Structure 1
Amino acid sequence: MRTLLNVIWLVLCGVWLAIGYAVAGIICCLLIVTIPFGLASFRMADFALWPFGRQLVRRADAGAPSTIGNIIWIVFAGWWLALAHLTTAVALAVTIIGIPLAWANLKLIPVSLVPLGRVIVDSDAPQDARYPAVN
């Protein structure tokens, strides 16, 4: 079922979201100073391609730089992206077929709001693999 939902998501929504996040990542990486935001955009593009069966977890070794970066991200891009995902989720939830796609859009809100200091893992991964230890 997860694969079917991912294929439907990929065809209807995922490709376009991933392209948008990848373009944003390329622009951020070209600007040198914003490379951490570019890498986060690539992570979001990966999650936007195949969201079902994966989840976002906080990295155990994320510290103050991630928090400061997330605050900057929220001010300049995060709240716009979260609002866009929420609006799209509401529009998709109008139809019965769109409800799972709306759920996937809601799953993208946390990563679009605070992408730094997070990692995307398989939902079926063992508990210790989901929460990476501090190295």
Structure 2
Amino acid sequence: MRLIMRLIGNIIWLVFGGILVFLEYLASGFALCITIIGIPFGIQAFKLAFLALWPFGSTVSEAPQSAGCLNTLMNIIWLCIGGIWIALTHIIFGILFCITIIGIPFGKQHFKMAGLALTPFGKRID
């Protein structure tokens, strides 16, 4: 039953904007990967893209091979360059979706994506 509910939730998510969010993250990931310096940030954009594609049933957790100071430094750079705006966008959409009872599951997914968009380095999507 849970598998069917996840599948239905993901299909509704895709139809009502999830595919557009996925394509935006994918395009920004490719744009960031043009330069060597941007490759780590592009990989994080791809991580966000695949979470945006199929969010129901996936969880965000700490990566076991956390690099410590490097992850912290990269998260600070990510946050300053645009992570805060991405996270705020997901928080606003999460609040808007949570206004209605039907939209609460979609709002929760936006809140999950906001957490990952804030500090993506050192995180893993299961």
> Does the alignment reach a TM-score above 0.5?
yes
Q: 1:86 aligns with which of 58, 82, 91?
A: 91
Aligned to 2:124: 119
Aligned to 2:59: 55
Please say if 1:66 is aligned against 2:76.
Answer: no
Deviation digits for residues 71-96 of structure 1 (CA, Å, limit 9, x no counterpart)? 10011111101100011111112222
Matches within 5 A, 1:1-135: 1-63=5-67, 64-121=69-126
Aligned to 1:133: none
Q: CA deviation at 1:31?
A: 2.1
Deviation digits for residues 44-95 of structure 1 (CA, Å, limit 9, x no counterpart)? 1000011111111111211221111011001111110110001111111222
1:54 aligned counterpart, secondary structure: coil
Residue type at the aligned position of 2:11: V
CA distance in 2, matches of 1:103, 1:8: 14
CA distance in 2, matches of 1:47, 1:87: 18
Query: Structure 2 regions of 5+ residues with no counterpart?
Result: none
2:33 aligned counterpart, secondary structure: helix
Query: Structure 1 regions of 5+ residues with no counterpart?
Result: 122-135
Residue type at the aligned position of 1:42: F
Structure 1 length normalisation: TM-score?
0.86
Percent identity, aligned pairs only?
Answer: 37
Deviation digits for residues 17-54 of structure 1 (CA, Å, limit 9, x no counterpart)? 11111111011101221100001101110000111111
1:94 aligned counterpart, secondary structure: coil
Structure 2 length normalisation: TM-score?
0.91
